[in-house]
Amino acid sequence: MVVMANACIQILLVMTLWCFSFIGAAIAAPNTSNMLKQPAIEVSVTLGNATNELKFFPDRLKFESGKRYKLVLTNPSATKHYFTDKDFADAIWTQKVDAGNVEIKGAVNNLELRPGAKAEWVFVAMKPGSYPLRCTVPGHAEAGMRGIVAIE
């Protein structure tokens, strides 16, 4: 009898945790259905330039929470660069990233652009804050390839 009662309690506990996992997911998931219907606001950023300056152009980006954006990243320089900001990536909802003939869906926090490359990152800005942007190629951030991404 005790064994059966313990088994019933374990089943009840598993069922309760299973139900709460769905409730938590529903609460945490952003309501992006209406946001995806709005046109994406295009913002362009160049990683470096033809004279190989180690800078983001522009180096300060501002987004509005709840708006949909298409961030167009290009690298005209002769070296690869990274567009890296995990905290910013955690503060947005990524719809997709188009890079050449590849479309990436889901969470993205680091984009590497090789010389001459272009990528388009479509996202909805969600969590207000100020996030540090940097290129993680050794020496690039120290030479000035840094910036700020703000969501208001």
pLDDT band for position 30 (cuts 50, 70, 90):
low
Locate the DSSP E strands across 1-128.
41-47, 56-57, 60-63, 68-74, 81-84, 92-99, 102-104, 110-113, 118-125
The Cβ of residue 7 has, within 10 Å, a number of other Cβ atoms equal to: 10
User: Does residue 26 share a domain with residue 40?
Assistant: no
49-53's contacts with Cβ under 8 Å and 24+ in sequence apart are 49/76, 49/77, 50/76, 50/77, 52/77, 52/78, 52/79, 53/77, 53/144
Whether 8 and 46 share a structural domain: no
Q: Say yes or no: 26 and 56 in one domain.
A: no
Condensed to tens digits (0 to 9), the pLDDT of residues 55-90 reads 999 999 999 999 999 999 999 999 999 998 889 999
Predicted TM-score of the model (pTM): 0.75
Residue 19 structural domain: 1-30
Q: Both 50 and 75 in a single domain?
A: yes
